[in-house]
């Protein structure tokens, strides 16, 4: 499917800041445990976000940081008040999809329905446009997958799902903020599609080690900050990644085993003071602010108002 491969242009001239991102999900939204992420197979499990989101908002306020919160639709439906609090505190709300299912394992049309449903839910909840998307577990995986184009087709301005390292993503994915452009698709869809891509930060130079997973929790935060400053100094937009369950400072409230447990637990219990040091090391902002894309992108107001009027 070579026609799925977009043209990639690095956004080299943009005056970027530093971006902080939060994937708003429970401890059990782990793609390595299918029985937890498929809602119809999920057993009753304890939840933490109602407690952790205010804690995270306080932490960011203390550090004078802002972030983009990529919110799961199923979480927004359960905790609408918490999601409004995020926006009221000056943060950006983006979409993490409706359910925490791997995008690349779903037919593109099914993914389109999922992300469209989540975008509409969040926009109705907040009364403002949702510009950004991040797939669960970086699962757009590779530029050439047709799923990436579905994100553009759903009306998102930017994506932050293409990891520039193997397994989660690919070394062929852009390392720096880029514009992806697809030619017109068919006789029906005559306009070219565009999507801005803001990939997650890595450290370790050539090795491109993820800064936002267990690998990042194991190293001194000053090392991650140095990687962010280097990336920024090269004209890039450093995108840091945090999860609410990483700051709980309590044992995980339900069972996890094998690789899921390793990835979730490694370096987690003592992570909060490290995160504080990382937050203090740079002026972290939302992606929309740090990339300077907040102002020019507006949803047509009547579309929002019509949906709000329907009681969304
Ligand atoms: Zn996630």
**What whole-number distance in Å separates Cα of residue 45 and Cα of residue 47?**
6
Q: Calculate how far, in angstroms, residue 302's C-alpha sits from the geometric centre of ligand 1.
A: 32
Q: Calculate how far, in angstroms, residue 103's C-alpha sits from the geometric centre of ligand 1.
A: 11
Check if the beta carbon of residue 63 is closer than 8 Å to that of residue 221: no
Q: Calculate how far, in angstroms, residue 188's C-alpha sits from the geometric centre of ligand 1.
A: 34
Q: Calculate how far, in angstroms, residue 102's C-alpha sits from the geometric centre of ligand 1.
A: 10
Instruction: Say which residue the tokens 């949906």 belong to.
Output: 307
Task: Please list the alpha-helical segments (H only) found in the chain.
Answer: 34-37, 49-62, 73-78, 80-88, 108-126, 146-153, 214-218, 221-233, 258-265, 271-280, 287-290, 301-309
The gap from C-alpha 96 to its chain's centroid, in whole angstroms, comes to 6
Q: Calculate how far, in angstroms, residue 58's C-alpha sits from the geometric centre of ligand 1.
A: 22
Burial 249-273 (b: 16+ CB within 10 A, else e): eeebeeebeeebeeebeeebeebee
pLDDT by residue, tens only, the chain of 312 residues: 445 899 999 998 888 999 999 999 999 999 999 999 999 999 999 999 999 999 999 999 999 999 999 999 999 999 999 999 999 999 999 999 999 999 999 999 999 999 999 999 999 999 999 999 999 999 999 999 999 999 999 999 999 999 999 999 999 999 999 999 998 876 666 678 899 999 999 999 999 999 999 999 999 999 999 999 999 999 999 999 999 999 999 999 999 999 999 999 999 998 999 999 999 999 999 999 999 987 644 444 434 444 444 443
Q: Which pTM value belongs to this model?
A: 0.92
Tell me the helices (H) and strands (E) count for the chain, helix number first. Answer: 12, 12
Q: Calculate how far, in angstroms, residue 100's C-alpha sits from the geometric centre of ligand 1.
A: 6
Check if the beta carbon of residue 130 is closer than 8 Å to that of residue 123: yes
Q: Calculate how far, in angstroms, residue 7's C-alpha sits from the geometric centre of ligand 1.
A: 27
Check if the beta carbon of residue 74 is closer than 8 Å to that of residue 40: no
In 3D space, the residue among 303, 298, 288 whose CA is nearest the CA of residue 87 turns out to be 288
């Amino acid at each position: 499917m070579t026609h799925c491969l977009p043209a990639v242009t690095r956004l080299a001239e943009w005056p970027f800041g530093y971006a902080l991102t939060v994937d708003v999900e429970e401890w059990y939204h782990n793609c390595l445990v299918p029985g937890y992420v498929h809602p119809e197979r999920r057993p009753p499990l304890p939840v933490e976000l109602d407690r952790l989101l205010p804690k995270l908002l306080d932490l960011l306020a203390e550090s004078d940081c802002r972030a983009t919160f990529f919110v799961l639709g199923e979480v927004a439906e359960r905790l609408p008040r918490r999601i409004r609090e995020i926006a009221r505190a000056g943060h950006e709300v983006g979409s993490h999809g409706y359910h925490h299912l791997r995008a690349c394992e779903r037919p593109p049309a099914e993914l389109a329905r999922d992300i469209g449903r989540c975008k509409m839910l969040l926009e109705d909840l907040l009364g403002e446009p949702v510009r950004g998307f991040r797939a669960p577990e970086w699962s757009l995986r590779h530029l050439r997958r047709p799923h990436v184009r579905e994100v553009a087709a759903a009306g998102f301005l930017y994506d932050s799902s293409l990891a520039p390292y193997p397994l989660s993503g690919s070394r062929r994915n852009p390392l720096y903020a880029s514009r992806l452009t697809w030619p017109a698709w068919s006789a029906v869809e005559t306009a070219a599609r565009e999507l801005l891509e803001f990939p997650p930060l890595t450290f370790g130079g050539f090795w491109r080690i993820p800064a936002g997973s267990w690998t990042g929790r194991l190293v001194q935060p000053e090392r991650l900050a140095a990687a962010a400053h280097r990336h920024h100094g090269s004209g890039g937009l450093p995108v840091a990644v945090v999860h609410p369950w990483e700051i709980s400072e309590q044992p995980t409230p339900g069972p996890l085993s094998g690789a899921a447990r390793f990835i979730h637990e490694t370096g987690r219990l003592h992570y909060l003071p490290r995160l504080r040091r990382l937050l203090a090391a740079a002026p972290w902002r939302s992606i929309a602010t740090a990339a300077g894309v907040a102002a020019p992108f507006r949803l047509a107001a009547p579309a929002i108002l019509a949906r709000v009027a329907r009681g969304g």
